[in-house]
Structure 1
Amino acid sequence: MQKIRFVDLFSGIGGIRLAFEQAADSLNIASTCVLSSEINTDAQLVYQENFGHKPLGDVRLIDSLPEHEILLAGFPCQSFSHAGKKAGFGDIRGTLFFEIARLLDSYKPKAFIFENVRGLYSHDEGKTLATIQHEIQKRGYSFHAFLLNSANFGLPQNRVRIYLVGILDASPTLKLMSDVGPKDSHSYNPQQLSLFYPAQKPITVADILENNPDSKYDCSPEFVNALKRIFHGNLNRLHGVRLIDYRGGNSIHSWELGLRGECSADEIALMNLFILKRRNKEFGREQDGKLLTKEQISSFFKHPHLGEILDTLVNKKYLKFINGKYKPLSGNFSFEVYKFVDPDKISVTLVASDANRLGVYHNQRVRRLTPREAARLQGFPDSFILHPNDDKAYYQLGNSVSINVVKAVAQEVILKILIPSPTTLSQAAISA
């Protein structure tokens, strides 16, 4: 059996490692992690529980890397300074990517796989990615950047991330194709983006839901009753609904729920028109909406008692009065759920800041997704041990990677460095 060694930097709870080990195993290749590093102690705990050893801490304290074939890293995306210029690229000194470059210099593996947020692709008008490419290529590696959506790899999540791949002293053609997928979670159409993940019947949120999770994940009776009132008892209408005060569309707002006091029909109508009309260019060019005067509001909401309605909304703290103008007060973080996923569709992106506030209406219950369901959205098997504190588990899963995507990337990279022949590559891909 062939063997492959790897290093796991910025390892988090071990998502990239798990995916890489699955990829190697699928190709009948033994894999060994020779070094891992993660600075967060809560993530170290989960990593140790699942892999049997505790990662090293701060990557900046690692002098050099041991012998290995592939370097893995889910490095943080920090701001890049352009105070210094070199060959037209920004200066990367002082960033955590520089630590990767420094360690690459200590031992050059045959290949690397990096994962990062989608924004890296266009950050600073592409200069940041160009800087990374320059630093990688001057060290003798090829450079490939793919924007891949988890939904195209058998996961019911609309999650786009950038994957950077490099092979030392080679210019291979990889079979992956960039595709950012649907603009939202309700317009998904699966495509074949890898030899390992052919187009098939898409998995949906319903496939990852637990049948009878703990009642602690249920939303409060007050919140549920408010939702029932809005939808006249038909809670199936919750599927795909957002709870947000700055947007219209398929959304519920705090004034409709009565979170700061019940509102009359006129008050609700004014607020709904306010958040819609304040974006009109005739009132200014601020992208997130303008503060409006009473006269401006009267141009789209004609009511004999407009002043009284505005005063009431200010008193209930749905509006704020600033220098003769009105602005809505956001209630977004007071909602128990910020988005209800549709069991028959795919989920919105799981993110660390509010992974604990994704909701679902399932089996006659209005509840939040559980940590295990969040883990399934990311492709983690049920055997993976999560942090015992739910809030920390949600945060870690939102920060982690989609296992299926990294596995597909890793399969192709492993084949490129261990089985470089095109004929062998095709045969291995078919058998996998």
Structure 2
Amino acid sequence: MRDLKFIDLFAGLGGFHIALESLGHTCVFASEINEDLRLLYKTNHGIDCAGDINAIEVAKIPAHDVICAGFPCQPFSKAGKQNGLNDVNNGNFFNKIMEIADYHTPEYIFLENVPNLRGHDGGNTWKYIHEKLSIEYEVSEQTMSPHIFGVPQHRSRFYIVCRLKSKGGLEHFKFPEGNFKGTLSINTIIEENPEEYTSIRKDSLNQLEVWQEFLDNIKSEEVPRFPIWAMEFGADYPFEEVAPIKQNVKDLKKYKGQFGKKIEGHSLDELLACLPNYAQTDQKEFPHWKKYYIRANREFYAKHKKWLDKWIPKILDFENSHQKLEWNCGNKIPLIINDKIIQFRPSGIRIKMPNFSPTLVINSTQIPVFPWLGRYMTPREAARLQCMDELKEFPTTTAKAFRAFGNAVNVCVVKNIAKNLLK
């Protein structure tokens, strides 16, 4: 394999750097807007890291063979506003990449983003990007996740590889298959005796105990395939045709709101406050999925009313999102929480099998929890999920570390693609 020169744009913790350097290639320039990460880049990779790429003249960037860029995904992510290329803060970075490519004409371009990039704006965003790249380059793209290489994390990302048509294009390139056949287990990345970790709070442990009691009252075959929205237990406010906010005030007073409490008040605002927060929307009509969840929870309550009425008081003081439960483990295993992976999410307490981690996200409030260990995932374990365990230093706080790892490219996936690409 040749010794190629590459640049690392939107470098973060340097996932592209680790992958390509391990294959014998040399980084000649890096750019990252976050000052803390720039300092870490110097510490971990031994080269200076420039700031905002938009403030750098392309002529001052060293000549190179490969552009690597995990360009900001927020404009295209389903979790964001999806402003795409029109995003004021992050939407113009692809055009900067093209400006660099047009000036330096590197042989390869290697990009990473969220899967939603392909379908954003009805496919128009990807059409624009593909057309720009295709002027000089042959382009190939694929969505991949590290779990296919044996890393216990489901993390689908959209990878784009390009090679100059004048150099032969991608005639001999093929994305790696990643045919890992073993059994994934989160235990392969867990630290045995971490020096620093965050314990589960007592109130969180109590919430899990209360939800375990809920599961103890049902059979495995009865476990809901829909999210449990406990606020619907006892509620009967109308929702099928018109959303509550569009209903008559006098009529709403005839019904029961969350947890079966009577809807009371002297204004529509006061009446709506008696409903679950997801029912207080400005929509004229609820989407079909929301109607289904409400309907399914009410049917579940009707079937289990006898014991649920005794259980409900234990959950009334929980914060809103913790009054919801998402059991993502199927119905063929014992309904036990303590040996599963937990996430406290805005959508509810999510319970997953311990074979692989949920996708690492930049929001530190959603760090995976290992209840059998009584603690949250550590930054070192997050590094292992991103195949970055060799880094000398991590961001200083847990929140900063998980934000950085949540934004990072997965080294294992990048390395496997690069092996096939940079021959």
Contact kept, 8 Å, 1:340 with 1:358, in 2: the verdict is no
Instruction: State the match for 1:171 in structure 2.
Output: 169
1:240-277: CA deviations, max 9, x gaps? xxxxxxxx857576x6xxxxxxxxxxx77226x88xx9
Taking the aligned partners of 1:210 and 1:129, their CA distance within structure 2 comes to 40
Instruction: State the match for 1:31 in structure 2.
Output: 25
1:17-39: CA deviations, max 9, x gaps? 112223x1xxxxx3211111111
Instruction: State the match for 1:75 in structure 2.
Output: 71
- Match status 1:7 vs 2:7: yes
What TM-score do the two structures reach when normalised by structure 2?
0.69
- Match status 1:372 vs 2:380: yes
Q: Which of 142, 145, 152 pairs up with 2:148?
A: 152
Q: Which of 103, 106, 112 pairs up with 1:106?
A: 103
How far off its partner does 1:324 sit? 3.9
Instruction: State the match for 1:20 in structure 2.
Output: 20
1:254-273 aligned at under 5 Å gives the runs 269-270=233-234
Shift of the 33–81 alpha-carbon distance from structure 1 to 2, 3 Å rule, reads closer
Taking the aligned partners of 2:183 and 2:247, their CA distance within structure 1 comes to 44
Shift of the 199–390 alpha-carbon distance from structure 1 to 2, 3 Å rule, reads closer
Shift of the 290–204 alpha-carbon distance from structure 1 to 2, 3 Å rule, reads farther
How far off its partner does 1:385 sit? 2.3
How far off its partner does 1:359 sit? 1.3
Taking the aligned partners of 1:148 and 1:284, their CA distance within structure 2 comes to 41
How far off its partner does 1:156 sit? 1.5
Aligned residue type for 1:218: S
Taking the aligned partners of 2:157 and 2:250, their CA distance within structure 1 comes to 44
Aligned residue type for 1:310: K
Structure 1 SS opposite 2:355 = coil
Q: Which of 338, 342, 354 pairs up with 1:344?
A: 354
Instruction: State the match for 1:230 in structure 2.
Output: 211
Structure 2 SS opposite 1:42 = helix
Contact kept, 8 Å, 1:205 with 1:341, in 2: the verdict is no
| Amino-acid identity (%) | 27
Taking the aligned partners of 2:65 and 2:25, their CA distance within structure 1 comes to 10
Instruction: State the match for 2:327 in structure 1.
Output: none
Taking the aligned partners of 1:354 and 1:379, their CA distance within structure 2 comes to 19
How far off its partner does 1:370 sit? 1.3
Instruction: State the match for 2:288 in structure 1.
Output: none
Taking the aligned partners of 1:141 and 1:308, their CA distance within structure 2 comes to 59
How far off its partner does 1:211 sit? 2.4
Taking the aligned partners of 1:74 and 1:351, their CA distance within structure 2 comes to 15
Structure 2 SS opposite 1:164 = strand
Aligned residue type for 1:398: G
Taking the aligned partners of 1:351 and 1:136, their CA distance within structure 2 comes to 29
Aligned residue type for 1:129: W
Contact kept, 8 Å, 2:264 with 2:271, in 1: the verdict is no
Taking the aligned partners of 1:127 and 1:212, their CA distance within structure 2 comes to 49
Q: Which of 40, 47, 54 pairs up with 2:48?
A: 54
Instruction: State the match for 2:296 in structure 1.
Output: none
1:164-313 aligned at under 5 Å gives the runs 164-169=160-165, 170-173=168-171, 176=174, 193-194=176-177, 197-213=178-194, 216-232=197-213, 249=225, 269-270=233-234, 278=239, 282-284=240-242, 309-311=260-262
Taking the aligned partners of 1:13 and 1:206, their CA distance within structure 2 comes to 24
Q: Which runs of 5+ in 2 are unaligned?
A: 76-82, 219-223, 279-318, 324-342
Taking the aligned partners of 1:211 and 1:292, their CA distance within structure 2 comes to 59
- Match status 1:322 vs 2:269: yes
Structure 2 SS opposite 1:199 = coil
1:181-233: CA deviations, max 9, x gaps? xxxxxxxxxxxx52xx3332042222212223357511112321232233149
How far off its partner does 1:384 sit? 4.5
What TM-score do the two structures reach when normalised by structure 1?
0.67
Contact kept, 8 Å, 1:343 with 1:360, in 2: the verdict is no
1:357-385: CA deviations, max 9, x gaps? 321223xx332111111222222225542
Q: Which of 124, 130, 136 pairs up with 2:133?
A: 136
Instruction: State the match for 1:63 in structure 2.
Output: 57
Q: Which runs of 5+ in 1 are unaligned?
A: 25-29, 83-92, 178-192, 238-247, 256-266, 416-432
Instruction: State the match for 2:412 in structure 1.
Output: 404
Taking the aligned partners of 2:212 and 2:9, their CA distance within structure 1 comes to 48
Instruction: State the match for 1:353 in structure 2.
Output: 363
Contact kept, 8 Å, 1:206 with 1:343, in 2: the verdict is no
